């Protein structure tokens, strides 16, 4: 019984730089305004919508982005080209 913890454990402060991911655009359809980015760290495919872009992107571009959970899963937001 001594090991049972009641309440919400305190969260460690999050470093804003840890929230920024990098990846490669694997697909982007300009006509429909959406595509997918492959996260370089997790190798997962993340959905991206044209409204989340700071500049135009195309396939094989290297980008930085943040992940926001939407109703259908992870979405890339604040997408920027990486030089």
Q: Could you give the domains of the chain?
A: 18-81 (2.40.50.140)
Q: What is the pTM of this model?
A: 0.77
pLDDT for 83 equals 82
Distance (Å, rounded) from C-alpha 7 to C-alpha 46?
33
pLDDT for 10 equals 73
pLDDT for 17 equals 60
Cβ-based neighbours of 16, under 8 Å, separated by 6 or more? none
Mean per-residue pLDDT, 33-42: 96
Distance (Å, rounded) from C-alpha 63 to C-alpha 25?
7
pLDDT digits over 58-76, tens only? 999 999 999 999 999 999 9
pLDDT digits over 8-32, tens only? 767 666 655 668 999 999 999 999 9
Query: Quick one: 37 exposed, middle or buried, by C-beta within 10 A (0-12, 13-18, 19+)?
Result: buried
């Amino acid at each position: 019984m001594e090991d049972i913890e009641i309440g919400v454990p305190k969260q460690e402060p999050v470093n804003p730089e840890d929230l920024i991911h990098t990846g490669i655009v694997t697909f982007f359809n300009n006509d429909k305004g959406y595509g997918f980015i492959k996260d370089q760290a997790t190798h997962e495919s993340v959905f991206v919508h044209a409204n989340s872009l700071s500049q135009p992107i195309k396939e094989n571009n290297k980008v930085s982005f943040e992940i926001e959970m939407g109703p259908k899963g992870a979405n890339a937001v604040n997408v920027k080209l990486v030089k």
